[in-house]
Structure 1
Amino acid sequence: MELIRLHHAYGKYLGEEVHAFALKHGIRPDFVASHGHTIFHQPDKHISLQLGHGAYIAAHAKLPVVSDFRTLDIALGGQGAPLVPIGDELLFGEYDYCINLGGIANVSYTQNGRRLAFDICACNMLLNTLANSVGSAYDHNGELARGGLLQPKLLQQLNAPAYFATPAPKSLGKEWVLEHSLAALRASEASVPDKLHTTCHHIAAQLKRALPQLHAGRHRVLLTGGGAFNLFLVQLLQEYLGEQYQVEVPEPEVVSFKEALIFAFLGVLRWRGAHNCLRSVTGASQDNIGGSIYLC
């Protein structure tokens, strides 16, 4: 009961915020595309819930809404994630790899004419939790991590879960991160800077492991998401990947808002009745047109 109430209340809040923004700027959007806030994601159990009911957003924004992008794909046997790759392919196709360093790091790329994508490992879920434990919202520029020392045993534990060797399609949720990565960090007696330093090595190592050689010559790697502001992590990643890869961090607006931009694009595809979710990425039985539409 409380979860349903919150689902509706958060949708109302989002709708009110959109309505206030539109009035302030004198605009009337064609529709709102809302991803919502993921609180459960266990596709193997056919569970994925993004908080913020589309009907309540529509009612209070006074605009049409496209939401609930994942459920159809999961019903078709897919992971319901990641959803961004079709946007990576159509909007950022000049890059060989698109990596998002968000709460969870993920990658997408085209190989043999097929777009592939998957979650790699936890990223800011780990780094921010550690920074929070010493009173910081995040590790600014990765300065705390840079001052730490590598803990080989902890690194081995972070790299140990079978997930990392499992072939795609695959995706991660908060539940997995709590049970594995965060559990290993909490059990360690290392200092917070040492944990941050070691975690950055873990992330860089898993990113390297995830990127196949696609062609001869240098590969362009686009980094976005909050982790792209972590200068120590970006430096480590370039060192792990070597000279065959050119790691590029774009302007801050793209770093911070690329996923929001692509979800708006997914909404456009849904509005047009075009495929916005790829079976090559999620493992579903077919490409599909995900998203519920609420008209107001």
Structure 2
Amino acid sequence: MRAIGLMSGTSLDGIDAALVDTDGLDRVATGPSLTVPYPGDFRDALRAILGQTVATEEIRTVERRLTELHAEAVGRLRADHGLDHVDLIGFHGHTILHRPDQGRTWQIGDGGLLARLTGVPVVSDFRTADVAAGGEGAPLVPVYHRALVAGLAKPLAILNIGGVANITWIGPGADDLVAFDTGPGNAPIDDWMRAKAGAAFDAGGETARRGTIDHAFVGRFLEHAFFARRPPKSLDRDDFARFRPDHLNAADGAATLAACTVAAALAARGHLPTAPLRWLVTGGGRHNRALMDGLAAGFNVPVEPVDVIGWDGDALEAQAFGYLAVRSLAGLPLSFPGTTRVPRALTGGRLDRPPVF
């Protein structure tokens, strides 16, 4: 089945769209992808609704525009690569609130509207069923990681550094799958750069690499109760928003926040069943040299971007939601006790079909 996956997630960068041809099990063939940055005014509007708990006209307006931008991304991908036939779209939407302890997770995005705009069936709302069953609702990508690593030595760990960072640990057994959020990813660094340097992010980690780490601040960061909790566990993008090193200049603050992201990933080792033989890093964070250098210095095994094994780290999550859409359509599980703490393997997602005339 040919599916386009769409991911914007917790970052505020834009939309990743990627084609995947899959049976939702072990057969996966990846295709073209693209990234469409959000217009600046829309990014500001999206940022303004993060953390809101009640549906408002403002949120509905942002949701409609978000959906239209995703439809445009689908159209561009299909036009650029001659994709005449697409069976399904996996539409993650954008997370504006994640509070699984309160039984809530909220990804805005109108699957029905996207189906009408694209003429393709859409699976969306991937996380609600998991949270309703007592799970964390995140991460959901691990089952896709497992489908990709058949020929690799195990155990191994895949560290995704998006707005929030999460880990997938895959062991040698068929059911050896553990996953959880490790801590903040790029979000605090991006917010810092926006406030202190007028930049959307720290390109290549160059600002952080010029700075000096405040190790006392990193120590206080690691005292947060989240790090002592046993996984599976998950975070909202802004759960660590109060950890802002406002006493530092732009470079030292970027270096310190990068060190916090690294320290959180290193702390995650204590929750893994056995030590990984290697760490593969995906997401935008793999482009940040301060993060990659810190991880390489902290782990005593190889730390490499997923691109070295032929994966596209910029498209991986979008591919995953195409894969998950196919699994949802087939009634296959998306989450498991070891990945979200859901009581049993559980499917999810909601299907919207385009109108038939």
1:114 aligns with 2:176: yes
The 1-side partners of 2:86 and 2:266 are apart by 40
Q: Determine helix, strand or coil for the equivalent of 1:118.
A: strand
The 2-side partners of 1:271 and 1:173 are apart by 27
1:249 aligns with 2:305: yes
Q: Which residue of 1 aligns with 2:99?
A: 42
Q: Which residue of 1 aligns with 2:11?
A: none
The structure 1 residue matched to 2:232, chosen from 154, 169, 172, is 169
1:102 aligns with 2:165: no
The structure 2 residue matched to 1:286, chosen from 338, 341, 344, is 344
Summarize the Cα distance change of 1:19–1:147 in structure 2 as closer, same or farther, 3 Å threshold. closer
The 1-side partners of 2:193 and 2:237 are apart by 18
TM-score by length of 1: 0.90
Counterpart amino acid of residue 251 in structure 1: D
- Post-superposition offset of 1:174: 2.4
Deviations 1:98-147 (CA, angstroms, capped at 9, x unpaired):
10011111101135743111111112101112222212222222121111
The 2-side partners of 1:116 and 1:52 are apart by 28
- Post-superposition offset of 1:41: 0.8
Q: Which residue of 2 aligns with 1:184?
A: 243
Whether contact under 8 Å (2:213, 2:252) holds in the other structure is: yes
The 2-side partners of 1:229 and 1:275 are apart by 32
Q: Determine helix, strand or coil for the equivalent of 1:142.
A: helix
- Counterparts of 1:17-96 in structure 2, within 5 Å, are 17-19=73-75, 21-23=77-79, 25-93=82-150, 94=152, 96=156
Q: Which has the larger displacement, 151-160 or 21-30?
A: 21-30
Q: Which residue of 2 aligns with 1:229?
A: 287
Q: Which residue of 2 aligns with 1:265?
A: 323
The 1-side partners of 2:212 and 2:228 are apart by 26
Counterpart amino acid of residue 101 in structure 1: I
Whether contact under 8 Å (1:14, 1:52) holds in the other structure is: no
Whether contact under 8 Å (2:121, 2:351) holds in the other structure is: yes
- Post-superposition offset of 1:40: 0.9
Q: Which residue of 2 aligns with 1:123?
A: 185
Whether contact under 8 Å (1:16, 1:57) holds in the other structure is: no
Q: Which residue of 2 aligns with 1:136?
A: 199
TM-score by length of 2: 0.75
Matched length = 288
Q: Determine helix, strand or coil for the equivalent of 1:211.
A: helix
The 1-side partners of 2:191 and 2:69 are apart by 26
Unaligned ranges ≥5, structure 2: 1-55
Q: Which residue of 1 aligns with 2:12?
A: none
- Post-superposition offset of 1:62: 0.9
Q: Determine helix, strand or coil for the equivalent of 2:327.
A: helix
The 2-side partners of 1:15 and 1:198 are apart by 38
Q: Determine helix, strand or coil for the equivalent of 2:217.
A: helix
Counterpart amino acid of residue 127 in structure 1: I
Q: Which runs of 4+ in 1 moved over 6 A?
A: none
